[in-house]
Structure 1
Amino acid sequence: MNRRTDLELIRIVASREVTRQLRSKAFWASVIVTTAMMCLSFALTGVLEGDGGDAPEVGVVGARTPVAAALRPETAVKEYGDAGAARRAVRDGTVDAAVLPGGEVLVLRNLPADLGRTIRQAEQTAGQVERLKELGAGPDETARALAPPVLRVSALDADAGEVQERTMTAGLGVFLLFILMLISGLGIAQGVAEEKSSRIVEVLLAKVRAWHLLAGKIVGLGAAALAQILLMMTAVLSAAIGFGALDAPLGAIGTAANLLLWFVPGYVLFVTLYAVAGALVSRQEDVNHVIGPVNMLQMLSLAGPALAVRGGPDDPALTVVSMVPGLSWAAMPMRMAAGPVPWWQIGAACALMLLAIAVLVRVGARVYRGGLLRYGGIVKVGDALRGAAH
């Protein structure tokens, strides 16, 4: 077969996998449910923050202009002519509290601590205003005397908030992609095992080679997963921006795009492992036994985010993990989100990942080919390699 024929056969297998994925109800259910849950969490956060942001309403009785003026920056002030009107307003819930002449405060049940401090400070300010007037100070002198000093703020890390948002975006993205990869991997292994147990693979191998099947599955399932991820990320980031959960949306979008670039080779690596594992069993009931080591390796990829949270981007262990193929897809984006990373380390991690994929696809194709036509329980990797040599 020439090169063009090989590519055409891979395209046909990939199209079959994409079509089957896009027609799967479980595929769309995972997209809809996950996206809806994330968007709902941002919506609830926005609602709760909005409910807690309303200024308390305070009633002021009598000609207590200094008290009312001192309260206005922190509260919504309503003035009443007598104590009876203020009492009715408190009982009806029109105001949260009412300040009477003599410093008495009316509340319906109890006085919140924050509101109590605000009223106490307003009374102190009003008392100072009265004493300054007694000493002959004019309005301008009183205002200058009571004006708070201007604070000179120097930020030691002005970008800390943006860095935190980028790190949270990367961490949340890694967790979601990890779950997606786990679910997809199980489906891939079960699909390969089903084709083998139903003997459909024998019909397919009469038309194409085993490595065509493996490459087509990698390309097709990768394309379907990429479409799924793009839909989820677009919806979740749109919800986060729309509900005001992000102060620096461009940084979060850049982090998400960078994470996606690192996820693609990681996904290819694990898809290959899951497909090869599925070829080693003759019954779907045995799938969970053979994918255990792959699941353990995938679990190790969460070490990167954990180290980034514990020790920060300069943690030596995180530096090592971010260079290891199979783990770098999650660790390197976390490092890049949390701080600058030397360009040579990024290049080395990428090169090592691509080299690992090339070796794995080559060896995995032999195991895949040797395992597909061997039946009778779980096939050992060594037996599959020897079977592929014949």
Structure 2
Amino acid sequence: MSNAQYDGPGALSAIGGVRLIARRELATRLRAKSFLISTAIIVVFICGYLILMNFIQNSSSSSTIGLTHQTSALATPVTSAAEAAGQKVDIRTVSEQAGRKQVADGKLDALLVGTADAPKVVVKKTLSAGLTSTFHVLAQQQAFSQQIDQLGGDPSKVQQAMSTAQLPVQRLQSVDKYQVQRIVLGVIAVVLIYMSLMINGQAVAAGVIEEKSSRVVELLLATVRPWQLMAGKVLGIAVVGLVQMVIFAAVGVGLGLATGAFAIPAGLITGAALWAIVWYVIGFAMYAVMLAAAGALVSRQEDANAVVTPVIMLIVVPAVIGWSLIPANPDGMAGRVLSLIPLFSPMIMPMRISLGVAAPWEIAVSLVLSVALVVALVALAGRVYRNAVLRTGARVRLVDALRAA
């Protein structure tokens, strides 16, 4: 095994060397079919998800009920019964003959025939669960009104008194009417960050191993220093991932607002998208330098899993914890503490920000700690990369790579 190392001055300035490598990565990866295909697939997924969500919102639990002229007086009772059953109904007045035909054709979900005092329900085959609950409530209301009428009371006044009767509610915390959509928005943001880190982060390690196995790295190090090569590779691939994230954010925010899939104010959605991009950049810098150092420890792609998997688990575990913990208890102590820990922050803090439960001081602390960790990891990973990138043959032990040249 060759123990050659490099720490020469390089022929370019520090910034010039990093820029050269970054441009090389950008030129190669932005034109790659894998980048274009993966970006197109995720954009299609985002569009399909938002369109489906909008369709479900517009068509959820809505039924069409026909009333004949003899049962038209039931329009208000049917509507109130549907509301009590948590259903949405569209009432249409038709003749009995036309109504029966529309039921048979599937244009009406149900038709009420007979009289207002003794209605009958006509359906094509069976009633949906929602309409079953609606007509059950209607039958109870009619039976109740008949009993009141027999006792000499006024059913309409009793029904009015019952509909307006309620107990006062004192809330200890304000209710966020956008809570569900905020959760969906937060989960989408973290999923996109996770996917981009997994795809582009592993691309860093694969690129390092490829250059090392093909000995291209030796040619590159004739011009730039090892830390410039590592920094340029990480920066170039980071920009590629950033381009993807901006595309995803623009498509998601634009289509979500255009279709009405998100009823959240545009400012909240835009803010969540911008924070997702910020945390992607921080997260990528954090994990990519570790993956670059890990890739420098081996000389063959077949050995990559052994060194890359531990770093990948640092992405997977926080993501899984975030998806399972934060939506269930957005402002819980566990989520608040984990969102401040740098290795967890890129996955958990964007979700808490989307939900509106992250305090400004928490965001500031997590940013400071995460940036501090990135600085420390850059120094540590740079040392490993410098001492291992030119060693060929068997896998380099991490302890050996950390030793001074």
* Corresponding residue pairs, total: 380
Give the residue type in structure 2 aligned to 1:259: A
TM-score by length of 1: 0.84
Residue 13 of structure 1: aligned partner: 21
1:122-178, CA deviations, whole angstroms, 9 ceiling, x for partnerless residues? Answer: 67569959x98xx899xxxx9767544276886835442324433332222112211
SS at match of 2:316: helix
Q: Paired residue for 2:311? A: 294
Q: Which residue of 1 aligns with 2:393?
A: 376
- Asked if structure 1 preserves the Cα contact closer than 8 Å seen for 2:200 and 2:238, the reply is no
Alignment-derived partner of residue 228 in structure 2: 212
1:329 aligns with 2:346: yes
CA distance in 1, matches of 2:205, 2:383: 16
Counterpart of 1:247?
263
Deviations 1:57-112 (A, max 9, x none): 313254x55335644775423243xx666545544555432311343333332344
Change (3 A) 1:164 1:128: closer
For residue 284 of structure 1, what is the aligned residue in structure 2?
301
SS of match in other structure, 1:248: coil
| Cα separation, 1, equivalents of 2:297 and 2:153 | 96
The one of 114, 134, 138 equivalent to 1:100 is 114
Structure 1 residues 279 and 59 mapped into 2: Cα distance closer, same or farther (>3 Å)? same
* Structure 2 equivalent of residue 47 of structure 1: 55
Describe the superposition over 1:283-323 as per-residue Cα deviations: whole angstroms up to 9, x where unpaired. Answer: 121111211211122223223443323443232x3333222
Give the deviation of 1:196 after TM superposition: 0.9
What SS is found at the alignment partner of 2:93? strand
* 177-186 or 53-62, larger mean C-alpha shift: 53-62
Residue aligning to 2:74: 67
User: Offset at 1:359?
Assistant: 1.7
Query: Residue 270 in 1 paired to residue 287 in 2?
Result: yes
Q: Tell me if the contact between 1:163 and 1:339 (Cα under 8 Å) persists in the aligned partners.
A: no
What is the alpha-carbon distance in structure 2 between the residues aligned to residue 339 and residue 72 of structure 1? 36
**Structure 1 range deviating more: 114-123 or 94-103:** 114-123
Q: Give the alignment of 1:188-267 within 5 angstroms.
A: 188-249=204-265, 250-267=267-284
User: Unaligned stretches of 5+ in structure 2?
Assistant: 1-8, 81-88
Superposition deviation, residue 207 in structure 1: 0.7
Q: Which residue of 2 aligns with 1:180?
A: 196
The one-letter code matched in structure 1 to 2:25 is E
Question: Deviation digits for residues 260-297 of structure 1, max 9, x if unmatched?
Answer: 21221111011101111111111121111211211122
Q: Is the 8 A contact 1:57 1:76 kept in 2?
A: yes
Tell me how far 1:224 sits from its aligned partner. Answer: 1.3
Distance 1:208 1:89 in 2: 77
Aligned residue for 2:124, secondary structure, equals coil
Q: Secondary structure at the match of 1:56?
A: strand
* Percent pairwise identity: 30
Q: Following the alignment from structure 1 to structure 2, what is the Cα–Cα distance between the partners of residues 360 and 116?
A: 62
What letter matches 1:378 in structure 2?
R
Greater shift, 7-16 or 91-100, is seen at 91-100
Provide the alpha-carbon RMSD of the alignment: 3.4
Question: In structure 2, do the counterparts of structure 1 residues 253 and 3 end up closer, same or farther at CA, with 3 Å as the change threshold?
Answer: farther
Separation (CA, whole Å) in 2 of partners of 1:215 and 1:288: 22
Sort the Cα spacing of 1:85 and 1:189 in 2 relative to 1 into closer, same or farther, 3 A.
Answer: closer
1:76 to 2:91 alignment: yes
Higher relative contact order (CA 8 A, sep 6+): 2
The answer on 1:109 being equivalent to 2:125 is yes
